[in-house]
Amino acid sequence: MQPQNPQSRKRGQDVSEVESSRTASLIDAMMANIQLEEKLTSKTMLQRFFSMGSIISTSSSFANRQQDAIGTRSQYRSIGSGTCGQVFEVPGTTYVFKLAKHPGKETDTLWNDYRQHLKIQEVFDKLGRSELQVRTPRVWHFVNMDDEAWWMQNKDRFPKTAADWTNLLCTERILPIPRPLRESLIEEYCPEKGIQQAKEMEENKDCLVRLYLGKRRSRVNTSFFSLRNFCLHLDQMEELELKIDQFATTMAEALAVMHWACRLDANDVEFVVGSAPDISAEPNLIVPKPLTSSEINKMEPNTSTWNAHTNDFKQRQIHIWMLDFNRCRPFQPDNLTPLVDAFFLNDPYYPRPHSPKARDQYLWTLFRKTYEQCSQKSLKWHKMDVQFLKLPGQVMDMVEERQKARVEVQQSLNQP
């Protein structure tokens, strides 16, 4: 495959004023367009590039495979599985397919995922995605298990081990963190004897990093290591000297928007660090726009334009993403208990109050302050009555009360 002409790439970038302004703001706010340096240690690599907005060049096999698959009819590949369904990548695109494991049964929650995801997407678009720190994948379409037209065209692209025709949801893919960061995590946390094997494992290339601000490791597991759904705990973030405050404010803002702009309980949502192709964050950059006549007139005759808007998988930008909305439900303002239940039912992404560690308590205070500030903005955006402005503070009070009771129970169990 011929490398993409830099001038052609530049023409594609110039098409969108949105992209230009967005890129400029990222450059101002983050370390944009920094090239990898081989002399960096794994810890220094993570310190410098494991932050929102960092742009990393990578020539990994994943990046090459994705770049080579653009415009081809490649096979779908399984990249993960959960209680809701199995996830497949669509090579050469920023799409994934979620396939329901038990279509039509109680465990098939894809339709609710679709409904709530669309609602969240509409709110994020209205608020302005560039105004929010967290990213949410775009949601595209739903395919019914009996949709013969779709399945007849696509069934052969799934592996033979995939389920028969089933309900399917198409969304934007959160790309894994680039290889330099994956290998840095392996070098830091994998037992030395397994480092090379871990770097070569195919499934470790599908690495999204879960951020556990509410949990420290009680012990280090040296018998098994995997990067798929890798959990980065608070003590590890401290060891790596990452920008933990930024993670906390991002999650607090996201939770506030979910509660008071989307009016959902945020039950079972996840927060992960992943990446995106350099230009895939805006919908008009994912769905190609025709070049204008003035742009064509500036080109040499017979210039290829098919790749003017394609994603560059070798230039990847780091983001915190919020995903998985299949268990989200609306709530009533006169009953805030579902919000507190969801806070504790989720994996320990959020900081916890009533910690004996000063650093943990500081993170909680920062999280609460940010949550309440962003909640006020969301309520005012909805033009809610003044009486509703006290509700976010009540939610945080209830979380603190619940956590205090949990701590007291744990302390009583630990007494001799």
Average pLDDT per run of 10 along the chain, which is 416 residues long? 46 40 40 46 86 63 49 80 85 89 80 95 93 94 93 91 84 90 93 92 92 89 80 96 96 98 97 76 42 76 62 66 96 97 97 95 98 96 87 98 94 79
pLDDT of residue 326: 93
d(CA 98, CA 72): 21
In the chain, where the domains are located: 252-272+331-414
Task: Report the b/e string of 171-195 with b at 16+ CB within 10 A.
Answer: bbbbbbbbbbbbbbbbbbbbeeeeb
pLDDT of residue 308: 56
| Strand blocks (E) in 9-105 | 55-57, 77-81, 85-89, 95-100
pLDDT of residue 104: 79
DSSP 101: S
pLDDT of residue 396: 99
Q: For residue 273, report the phi and psi dihedrals to the nearest 5 degrees.
A: -95, 125
Asked if 266 and 242 touch (Cβ cutoff 8 Å), the reply is: no
pLDDT of residue 65: 52
